[in-house]
């Protein structure tokens, strides 16, 4: 048997170019399959870690998913605003430990601008209850101070003390600017891997100040209030976008949620972040399964190519197989040799695919963090990925039986009889 394995190894070496290309195809298909699975899991983790320790997210009555997407992730269609009096009532609820008002609607070069209070830096948590930290500077204290997320500062090259102008409205393109009221960068937050990195933070009073001479989404004709005079006005917000609520006891979450949802003074919606995120993943679950199915088909195509290569080589290896038979190899041993060859290429391709994925993760993780907020970390293959690899090897083994069976059916005379 050792002699037969040596002959098979030399035969494979003589066909190293063809088998090498097949090996690369299998490795790339495995890399794609595992990469899709890893991106799916990291995207879900990134969404789940974007807000932590918040018991309720409150906004105008709409879809829970829409409220979460806009208020927490700053994407999707804008929800209606809620009255400031509603925020005061919720903040004064005896069961509420803390509350963070959020006001959205403006942007800076496509990055959303968030109006909030100092409570945001004290109580907002992400990932495993991690608090926000400043990489440089301090939280806003003056009216026209701004604190930038890490990605905003990096992409736009801002430093402490720089002056910025906010745009009216959300989106990459804005035709109106608040150019008469410039903000000063006083702080830059440490990277979190959440939407915080892509946000410009200002005070609620500042959001009110830049809109004093605006109405209906446009500047009032003939009216311009200079920045030095806005402090003479009452800058208490009239409306905000949403509220993040933390309760003194988690046991009261459903009671407080029911009180807010049944409020008769204003149509409000209080959602549990975890429940809303589950609903979100149910919506995108079809796309997840489709991507995974496409990746699985790529693997199947790669393994089919392996079978085709081995089957095509049987015609060229008729004499080789006949020689193996002539030196004592039984049909079962030839079957095992051909099957083992296909299985070996599948296993080696899977290992190369894992190694390639690790290399791509190390090289592309910083770009994924900056552009997509996905925090890829070097880690061992997960249990789900091991199951996928096991399925790939199992399919490869089954596929390898075809050329093995074909070689098993070949007789000694088939290899020694010349073909005209």
Q: Which helix (H) or strand (E) holds 369?
A: helix 331-372
What is the rounded end-to-end Cα distance, in angstroms, of the chain? 33
CA-based Rg of the chain, rounded to a whole angstrom?
Answer: 31
Provide the CB-side half-sphere exposure for 223 (13 A, CA): 11
DSSP per-residue letters across 289-340: HHHHHHHHHHHHHHHHHHHHHHHHHHHHTHHHHHHHHHTT--HHHHHHHHHH
Tokens (6 digits) for 331: 């049909």
Q: How far is residue 84's CA from residue 101's CA, in Å, rounded to a whole number?
A: 9
β-pair type (183-189, 145-148) = parallel
Residue 115 vs residues 100, 104, 106, 208, 404: alpha-carbon distances, Å: 10, 6, 9, 9, 68
Which residues lie below 8 Å from residue 407, measured CB to CB, with a gap of 6+?
A: 314, 321, 334, 335, 337, 338
| Beta-carbon contacts of residue 8 (< 8 Å; ≥ 6 apart) | 337, 340, 341
Q: Which of 135, 137, 91 minimizes the C-alpha distance to 117?
A: 91
Other Cβ atoms less than 10 A from the Cβ of 233: the count is 12
Q: How far apart are CA 294 and CA 136, in angstroms?
A: 44
> What does the pLDDT read at residue 412?
47
SS3 state of residue 203: strand
Question: 30: which strand partners?
Answer: none
Show pLDDT as tens, one digit a residue, over the chain (420 residues). 565 566 666 666 767 787 788 888 888 888 888 888 888 777 777 777 788 889 999 999 988 989 998 998 888 788 899 999 999 999 999 999 999 999 998 999 889 999 999 999 999 998 778 899 999 999 999 999 999 999 899 999 999 999 999 988 776 656 678 888 999 999 999 988 888 999 999 999 999 999 887 776 667 777 778 888 888 888 999 999 999 999 999 899 999 999 999 998 999 999 998 888 888 777 777 777 777 788 788 778 777 777 777 666 666 666 666 666 666 667 777 777 777 777 888 888 899 999 998 888 888 877 776 566 566 776 778 888 888 888 888 888 887 777 667 666 654 455 445 554
* Beta bridge partners of residue 147, listed in sequence order: 187, 201
Residue given tokens 């595992």 in the structure block: 34
CA pseudo-torsion sign 356, 359, 361, 364: negative
DSSP 8-state code for residue 177: B
The token duo for 217 is 């989404």
* pLDDT given at position 373: 59
Query: What are phi and psi for residue 3, nearest 5 degrees?
Result: -65, -40
Token pair recorded at residue 177? 């600017």
**Please, are residues 73 and 195 in contact by the beta-carbon 8 Å criterion?**
yes
Scan for tokens 């990932």, then name that residue. 127
């Amino acid at each position: 048997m050792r002699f037969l394995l040596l002959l098979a190894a030399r035969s494979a070496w003589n066909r190293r170019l063809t088998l090498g290309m097949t090996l690369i195809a299998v490795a790339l298909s495995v890399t794609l399959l595992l990469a899709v699975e890893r991106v799916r899991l990291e995207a879900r983790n990134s969404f789940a870690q974007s807000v932590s320790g918040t018991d309720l997210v409150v906004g105008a009555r709409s879809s829970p998913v829409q409220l979460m997407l806009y208020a927490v992730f700053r994407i999707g269609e804008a929800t209606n605003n809620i009255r400031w009096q509603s925020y005061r009532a919720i903040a004064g609820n005896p069961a509420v430990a803390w509350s963070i008002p959020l006001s959205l609607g403006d942007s800076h070069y496509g990055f959303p601008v968030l109006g909030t209070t100092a409570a945001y830096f004290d109580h907002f948590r992400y990932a495993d209850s991690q608090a926000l930290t400043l990489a440089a500077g301090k939280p806003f204290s003056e009216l026209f101070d701004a604190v930038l997320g890490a990605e905003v500062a990096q992409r736009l090259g801002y430093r402490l003390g720089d002056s910025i102008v906010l745009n009216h409205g959300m989106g990459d393109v804005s035709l109106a600017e608040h150019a008469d009221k410039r903000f000063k960068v006083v702080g830059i937050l440490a990277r979190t891997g959440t939407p915080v990195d892509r946000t410009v933070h200002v005070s609620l009073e500042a959001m009110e100040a830049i809109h004093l001479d605006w109405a209906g989404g446009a500047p009032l004709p003939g009216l311009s209030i200079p920045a030095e005079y806005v402090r003479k006005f009452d800058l208490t917000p009239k409306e905000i976008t949403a509220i993040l609520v933390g309760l003194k006891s988690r046991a009261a979450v459903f009671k407080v949620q029911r009180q807010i949802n049944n409020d008769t003074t204003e149509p409000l919606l209080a959602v549990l972040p975890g429940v809303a995120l589950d609903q979100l993943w149910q919506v995108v679950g079809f796309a997840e399964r489709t991507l995974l199915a496409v990746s699985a088909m790529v693997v199947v195509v790669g393994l089919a190519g392996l079978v085709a290569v081995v089957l095509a080589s049987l015609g060229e290896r008729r004499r080789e197989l006949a020689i193996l038979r002539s030196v004592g190899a039984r049909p079962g041993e030839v079957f095992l040799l051909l099957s083992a060859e296909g299985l070996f290429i599948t296993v080696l391709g899977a290992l190369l695919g894992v190694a390639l994925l690790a290399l791509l993760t190390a090289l592309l993780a910083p770009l994924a963090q900056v552009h997509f907020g996905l925090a890829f970390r070097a880690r061992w293959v997960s249990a789900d990925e091991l199951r996928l690899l096991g399925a790939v090897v199992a399919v490869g083994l089954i596929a390898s039986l075809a050329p093995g069976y074909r070689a098993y059916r070949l007789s000694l005379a088939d290899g020694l009889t010349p073909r005209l």
